[in-house]
Chain A
């Protein structure tokens, strides 16, 4: 087994574009350490002149998946996300290291509540897939939010798993909830004694969601937050 922080070469197995702003990359990487849901990989790109740019992406796949699945949101002028979303093809080689992260992780042995915004749902997809596989979906409750269903990666999978889905801008959202941001009333039914609360999304989403959780009585130390910066 190779250490997670060593740079290695992964081969792109497939690239899917479920929406104009989203790319799903599946990578082959031999002899990698098995990840824990919530962990991420770093992808490093190198130009001809040696210039490098690297960004972190959460893993969407279950630990048992033979490939690593990363969901990449294509950001405006994003030099890494733009490359991964538009240039990368199956068979390409990418330099990666991981899995990384010992904080925002869940191994499906204790209760967890996930609150995700936009591509912030990606680590929860890994958690959900893992919980489904080992028969412990009873331990995981999810509330997710996006502007439209197109902006919500893995929307069908999340809806099917019973996640509460808040769509904020779309006039005709999925049937289980009216259009609008997540509210305290949405989160109260998810509260679970002894649970760890995972919040993942943009800085603004993460701030709003953590304040909502604190507002409905969750202790701050029970909340783990992963905020996205505007890194491209």
Chain B
């Protein structure tokens, strides 16, 4: 439809809206839960994080070993494809760069497939998890991440729509091709850049 919708005014637009990608709204202090599966109850002591595939040294870290790595915090915004954004929040864990430094992805690696304990998967170009763009996190605003938000531990890739930030992540597999994950096989975009509004395949 070329023109505006009859009689639609929309919510009040404020100067803060420059932080909102197109089609998103500010959810404020809330944090909606959107998951396609039953929430698993993970015991941290039994959880492990594996980096494998096209890497020089495949490695697996336990909960304790992950916590012994240098930690860092992401401070900023997150954007969900269902149109909410949460502004000015923070998460703490380990930068994916730390895991890549230890495992050394090969020159042939172009993409990553993240896998959760539930079997959920999501695909990412390697550039989107390097150079300070992605974390494995277990804390949100100073508190342990709750199970419905992916606790005890999830992937965080805040510059992409939030389905890329796989809850209950347990594995990053480096590949020489793009392999579609759960939502991507079901019609969602392979990259999911909120600023380009890449919600569905073809956007």
Contact = CB atoms under 8 A, between A and B. Distances in A.
Interface stretch (B20-28, B54-62, B99-107, B130-138): B20-28
Contact of A46 (B1, B11, B25, B35): B1
Contacts of B33: 203, 207, 227, 229
Most chain A C-beta atoms within 10 Å of own C-beta, residue among B10, B38, B200: B38
Contact of A231 (B84, B148, B182, B201): B84
Contact of B80 (A93, A229, A232): A229
A101 B5 contact: no
A220 interface: yes
Contact of B148 (A103, A207, A224): A207
B73 to A, nearest CB: 25
A41 to B, nearest CB: 12
A100 B187 contact: yes
B202 interface: yes
A223 B10 CA distance: 36
A210 B119 CA distance: 17
Main secondary structure of the interface of A (DSSP, over half): mixed
Interface residues of B, number: 41
B142 interface: no
A4 B80 contact: no
Interface stretch (A21-29, A50-58, A122-130, A144-152): A50-58
B27 A230 contact: yes
Contacts of A95: 1, 5
A50 B170 CA distance: 42
A97 to B, nearest CB: 8
Interface string A115-155: 00000000000000000000000000000000000000000
A230 B33 CA distance: 9
B7 A100 contact: no
A153 to B, nearest CB: 20
B143 interface: no
B4 A83 contact: no
Contacts of A7: 1
B11 A79 contact: yes
Chain A interface size, as a band, is 35 or more
A226 B36 contact: yes
Contacts of A226: 36
A195 interface: no
Contact of B32 (A45, A83, A211, A230): A230
Most chain A C-beta atoms within 10 Å of own C-beta, residue among B11, B40, B185: B11
Nearest to A78: B11
Contacts of B89: none
A229 B37 contact: no
Nearest to B118: A220
A4 B36 CA distance: 21
Interface of B: 1, 3-11, 13, 22-23, 25, 27, 30, 32-40, 80, 82-84, 118-119, 148, 182-183, 185-187, 200-203
Interface of A: 3-7, 9, 44-48, 50-56, 77, 79, 83, 87, 92-95, 97, 100-104, 203, 207, 210-211, 213-214, 220-221, 223-227, 229-232
8 residue pairs, one from A and one from B, having the closest CB atoms: A229-B32, A102-B186, A203-B33, A210-B38, A47-B10, A5-B200, A220-B38, A45-B8
27 contacts: A4-B187, A5-B200, A5-B201, A5-B202, A52-B10, A55-B83, A79-B11, A79-B25, A83-B8, A87-B6, A95-B1, A95-B5, A100-B187, A101-B186, A102-B185, A102-B187, A103-B186, A104-B36, A203-B148, A207-B33, A207-B39, A220-B37, A224-B36, A225-B35, A229-B32, A229-B80, A231-B25
